[in-house]
Amino acid sequence: MAPRISPLLGATLVSLLTACGPTRVAISPRDVVDVVVRPAAGPAVFCPGEAFKVEVVAHLQNGQYCSSTDRTRGCMKEQDAVIDPVQVHLEGSTGGIQGNPKKFLWATSDDPLVTASTGLALKAWIEQAAPGGVERSMVAQTRLVPIYACQSRALFGGGSGGFRGENGGPGPDLDIAVTTLASPFYPEAALIRVISGTHRVYYISPSPAEPVQITSAAEAGGQGASGQNGFDGAAGQDGSAACSRGGNGEHGRHGFPGSNGGNGGPGGFIRVTLDRAAAGRLRGRVLATSQGGDAGRAGNGGTGGRGGRAGNGGPSSPDCPSGGVAGESGRNGNDGMSGQAGYAGPNGPLPEVGTANREALFGTEMTLIRQIEATRLQEAPAATTR
């Protein structure tokens, strides 16, 4: 007779098995009749700088589909199973696996110019070591189109200022340049370059309806320092003589006040320069604002000290069978008052807008811009949905 498993133990075993993850099934490349590679989320798109999960799906001769990431599909008659990650080989035209390779997270450069002309081409196949060498399935290919939603808002600066009520620093000055960029994917795109100090960052607005919001943010004022806590009152002395009264506990000292918060810093200066030849079409592709820093919060007042314990009365005697009377406990001190919040920093001036010749404005980038605009994509097999 099979041993019985208690419901509690059975639930524990199920929980442990679930925590171990899906079964990793080895499949023979010879049994694979088709392979698909695509983002696990579905659409064949990516946003530069964002990592996304890649799914590889193998279609087998028996009609089954096995996935590298979707455990609910099952594989080889296993209900909760995926292809053994060791068998899945994944390549890309740019970027690479991020973190644990068994998670299939693919990361690309956050520079949109790297993928503006070609997007991201992914290739995948199933392979297995065999006595005669490595066996491989056919190769799946797909091209992902870049989208730029994750780069539609950019914040420079911000954060909190110093400690103990220091004022926040000013927002960074930004030098923004804008020109047209007819990429293979977006014929009406605009290229935006932002220079902040020694940093140079690029963004792409894919269409006039999708501008990029760029903000120079000053630092917030620092929070005021907390007031020192009040000292506890000393305990009253116990009475020593028979029938004597115990001493009173000292009152707790009041907490000290908190200090004031710092003022937010002023917004930075922004200059926007448009490609002179297309200035009319480029206005509105950048929404630039300069924000003053938030007011620093007030410092909290210190906590009042606790009142001292009352002293016990003296020992008993025939004249006072219950002993002497205890003294009075000290009162707790009052909490200190909070300081005052600082003032919000003033916003920076409205952006200064001008125009310049494209070659002069984007001198170091013109070779790459011309290459992107001259690119004509060759079709790659699209990822199918199964």
Considering the domain boundaries, does residue 58 fall inside one? yes
Domain identity same for 159 and 238: yes
- Candidate from 6-10, 79-83, 137-141, 263-267 with smallest mean pLDDT: 6-10
Predicted pLDDT of residue 20: 67
Q: Would you give the DSSP letter of residue 131?
A: T
Considering the domain boundaries, does residue 13 fall inside one? no
169 versus 240: the higher-pLDDT residue is 169
The band of 226, judged by pLDDT with boundaries at 50, 70 and 90, is confident
Task: Name 3's Cβ contacts closer than 8 Å, sequence gap at least 6.
Answer: none
Q: Is pLDDT of 203 > 60? A: yes
Average pLDDT over every residue of 107-135: 93
Considering the domain boundaries, does residue 386 fall inside one? no
Q: What is the pTM of this model?
A: 0.79
Considering the domain boundaries, does residue 136 fall inside one? yes
Domain identity same for 281 and 323: yes
β-pairing, 120-130 vs 88-92, is: antiparallel
- The CATH number of residue 125's host domain is 2.60.40
Domain identity same for 249 and 273: yes
Considering the domain boundaries, does residue 382 fall inside one? no
β-pairing, 88-92 vs 96-97, is: unpaired
Residues of the chain by 3-state class (helix, strand, coil), percent to 5? 15, 30, 55
Considering the domain boundaries, does residue 6 fall inside one? no
Domain identity same for 230 and 88: no
> Are the CB atoms for 190 and 197 separated by under 8 Å?
no
Cα within 13 Å of Cα(331), Cβ side? 4
**Strand (E) or helix (H) holding 18:** helix 7-19
Q: Is pLDDT of 297 > 60? A: yes
Domain identity same for 140 and 179: no
**Cα–Cα distance list, 221 to 40, 158, 251, 290 (Å):** 43, 11, 36, 16
Coil, helix or strand for 255? coil
Domain endpoint, select from 111, 132, 147: 147
Domain identity same for 161 and 61: no
Considering the domain boundaries, does residue 1 fall inside one? no
Q: Is pLDDT of 359 > 80? A: yes
Coil, helix or strand for 189? strand
Domain endpoint, select from 147, 181, 198: 147
Q: Is pLDDT of 10 > 80? A: no
**Strand (E) or helix (H) holding 180:** strand 174-181
* Sheet containing 153-157: order of strands: 153-157, 212-217, 286-291
Structure tokens at 312: 């016990």
Task: Name 28's Cβ contacts closer than 8 Å, sequence gap at least 6.
Answer: 128, 135
**Cα–Cα distance list, 251 to 158, 228, 245 (Å):** 45, 17, 18
Give residue-wise pLDDT tens across range 313-357: 778 888 788 877 887 887 888 888 888 888 899 999 999 999 999
Domain identity same for 271 and 286: yes
Q: Is pLDDT of 105 > 80? A: yes
Angle, CA 245 vertex, CA 241 and CA 251 arms, to 5°: 130
Domain identity same for 254 and 371: yes
Angle, CA 111 vertex, CA 208 and CA 119 arms, to 5°: 75
Give residue-wise pLDDT tens across range 22-65: 899 899 999 999 999 999 998 999 999 999 999 999 999 999 99
Considering the domain boundaries, does residue 364 fall inside one? yes
Predicted pLDDT of residue 108: 93
**Strand (E) or helix (H) holding 15:** helix 7-19
The dihedrals phi and psi of 231, each to the nearest 5 degrees, come to -80, 145
* Domain encompassing residue 186: 152-376
| Percent of all residues in the chain with a pLDDT value above 90, rounded to a whole number | 56
- A 10 A CB-CB count for 3 gives 4
Structural domains of the chain, count: 2
Domain identity same for 310 and 361: yes
Angle, CA 369 vertex, CA 368 and CA 372 arms, to 5°: 85
Q: Is pLDDT of 80 > 60? A: yes
Domain identity same for 125 and 249: no
Predicted pLDDT of residue 377: 62
What is the distance between the alpha carbons of residues 286 and 213, in angstroms, rounded to a whole number?
A: 6
Q: Is pLDDT of 8 > 70? A: no
Domain identity same for 222 and 297: yes
Number of residues that this document lists for the chain = 386
Predicted pLDDT of residue 77: 79
- A 10 A CB-CB count for 138 gives 13
Domain endpoint, select from 98, 121, 147: 147
Domain identity same for 138 and 178: no
